[in-house]
Amino acid sequence: MSTKRKLRAVQVGCGGRAQTHIKAMIACGEVELLAICDIDAAKLKATAEKYNIPKTYASMEEMIQKEQPEFVDICTPPTIRTSIVEPAIKAGAPAVLIEKPIALLPSESRRLVELGKDRLICVNTQYQWMSHWQRIWGLLQEKALGEVRLLRASCGVNILEQGPHDLDLALKAARISGLPAPEWVVAQCWGIERFGKTPVPHDTAATVGLGDARLHFNAGPSAPNVPGESAIYLQQQVEIIGSKGRIWVSLNKGGSIWIDGKHEEIDTNWPRGDAESQPALYVSIRDALHNNTWKEFPTRVEISAQVSDVMFGCYASALGGGKVKLPQEFPDSLVDQLEKLPQK
């Protein structure tokens, strides 16, 4: 049993994904969940009873002010991202976890980075903590693949739905391998879906410049299929290619490591991967806050904003028809202009 002090936390939201967060906090054994909050009284009551949570609130601000938590887990839709993070911080939240995508508009991403300058705002891209990815980070730190020259990432659904997870993994692999942050993007997009009321491309195909290396990314119908995978939301894969080897990882259908002529299969499984990574994320948050190393947290909003820059850069390239420099301050009007994308 851990002798470390538990992280004093509260949670905002009692919806479907919020239930997974609560289970993970309980499972990790390192979080003391003080209270939960939701404006839906029925969901709030049912969740509190199901998990034996001592206190409930209809007001987030009241909960934060009365409970004085170290950490606020905000598990709400991105359509109300900044409009809920800002009042949480104003009410006294010293550290915050938010879901992906971090923003639907460029100004929201910039505002979250600004708010995260003096406290931990981190993003729930929990795949990083899956056991196979933890091993891969070690291999990349050891330069086992040699010089990384090419990365590929893809998902079967639109760029806002699962793109943040796969881009997060690919860009972390690039950082550990010593590659620079995204410098430019060239992309083509077509068709329109909706994330709430916000338009998002149905399909995206992009190339991102990382110094001399490249990241190729697809989200939607243009994405290559994961062999043997029939579920569209599980059509996720990342590939890292270096001068000495290659790693390919899918979300649910395994993966492979090829290094120096040797081959090894990787076991991956959903939802088992989620069940191990989400609790591990909370343990990492606890350690980062208690050890005052939060500025180095791997999914802090400053780093996750690079994913947003790539996504908004894809929009700008598809609409303008050329290479787009990164990072840059894109206007919010860029999102409305997606209505002009070709539909076929």
Residue 321 pLDDT greater than 80, yes or no: yes
Residue 209 pLDDT greater than 70, yes or no: yes
- Does the domain at residues 128-268+306-325 carry the CATH identifier 3.30.360.10? yes
> Picking from 3-17, 29-43, 152-166, 289-303, which range would have the lowest pLDDT averaged per residue?
3-17
CA distance 157 to 35: 34
pLDDT bin (cut points 50, 70, 90) of residue 79 is: confident
Q: Among candidates 181, 239, 246, which has minimal Cα distance to 210?
A: 181
> Start-end ranges of CATH 3.40.50.720 in the chain?
7-126+275-301
For residue range 217-230, list pLDDT tens digits in order. Answer: 999 999 999 999 99
> 122 near 233, Cβ under 8 Å?
no
Q: Residue 219: what residue type?
A: A
Residue 236 pLDDT greater than 60, yes or no: yes
Sign of CA dihedral 150, 155, 157, 159: negative
CATH dotted code for 7-126+275-301: 3.40.50.720
> Start-end ranges of CATH 3.30.360.10 in the chain?
128-268+306-325
Task: Give start and end residues of each alpha helix (H) in the chain.
Answer: 16-28, 41-51, 60-67, 81-90, 106-115, 131-141, 163-176, 272-290, 301-320, 333-336
What is the pTM (predicted TM-score) of this model? 0.95
pLDDT bin (cut points 50, 70, 90) of residue 195 is: confident
pLDDT bin (cut points 50, 70, 90) of residue 3 is: low
First-residue to last-residue Cα distance in the chain: 57
Q: Are strands 198-210 and 95-98 parallel, antiparallel or unpaired?
A: unpaired
Residue 298 pLDDT greater than 50, yes or no: yes
Mean per-residue pLDDT for 322-340? 96
The predicted pLDDT at position 2 comes to: 52
The predicted pLDDT at position 1 comes to: 45
Write the burial class of residue 301 (CB in 10 Å: 0-12 exposed, 13-18 middle, 19+ buried): buried
The residue that leads in pLDDT, 144 or 342, is: 144
Write the burial class of residue 41 (CB in 10 Å: 0-12 exposed, 13-18 middle, 19+ buried): exposed
CA distance 237 to 152: 8
For residue range 115-137, list pLDDT tens digits in order. Answer: 999 999 999 999 999 999 999 99
